[in-house]
Amino acid sequence: MSKNLISLFALGILFTSKVSFSQCAMCKAVVENGDVSMAEGVNNGITYLMVFPYLLIGVLF
């Protein structure tokens, strides 16, 4: 049972990583063709998404 669960989890990560890489390319294209405020918004969103995992780890440990 444990090996099946690990295999399913690994497959799930594999399939979601392809989707996330394609989204990064789309975001890059939009920012390159957009204005400065859009690029700043994307950068702020990236920073926002990066901070919370570190905060959670810091609070839990």
Q: What is the pLDDT of residues 39-55, one digit of tens each?
A: 788 788 888 888 888 88
CA distances from 58 to 22, 53, 61 (A): 31, 9, 5
Task: Give the span between the Cα atoms of 15 and 11, in whole angstroms.
Answer: 6
Task: Give the span between the Cα atoms of 27 and 24, in whole angstroms.
Answer: 5
- The pTM assigned to this predicted structure is 0.46
**Which two structure tokens, joined as six digits, stand for 39?**
């690029």
- Asked if residue 30 lies in contact with residue 38, where contact means CB atoms within 8 angstroms, the answer is yes
Share of the chain above pLDDT 90, in %: 0
pLDDT at 11: 82
Residue numbers of the domain that contains 31:
2-60
pLDDT at 6 exceeding the cut of 80: yes
Q: DSSP code of 35?
A: -
pLDDT at 22 exceeding the cut of 70: no
Q: Structural domain tally of the chain?
A: 1
